[in-house]
Amino acid sequence: MLRHYARMDTTNRLAVSASEAAAMLSLSLRSIQNYIAVKKIPARKVGKRTLILVRDLEEFLHKDQPSPARERRA
């Protein structure tokens, strides 16, 4: 099912779920959750869902990012 998200057209979408973001960036859901936890990817809770703005994902990609696991250990 995640492969479906990778092909999804996001040009008209403002936000995506964490699972969709993981598929779009070819990362695991856990990596996305770790980046959210260390505030490298801003996320918003809407009810039970975690939403990430597509523009925040684009900004994230334009920066070099260390592994989120290393930052959590510090």
Structural domain contains residue 57? yes
Bigger pLDDT: 61 vs 51: 51
Count of domains in the chain?
A: 1
Structural domain contains residue 70? no
Q: Per-residue pLDDT averaged across 42-68, rounded?
A: 89
Distance (Å, rounded) from C-alpha 48 to C-alpha 39?
A: 19
37: pLDDT strictly greater than 90: yes
pLDDT bucket at 63, cuts 50 / 70 / 90: confident
pLDDT at residue 1, rounded to an integer: 47
Structural domain contains residue 20? yes
Q: Per-residue pLDDT averaged across 35-54, rounded?
A: 95
- Phi then psi dihedrals of residue 62, to 5 deg: -80, -5
Domain of 17, CATH number, reads: 1.10.1660
Pick from 11, 5, 44: nearest CA to 25: 5
The residue segments making up the domain with residue 19 are 2-65
Whole-prediction pTM value? Answer: 0.72
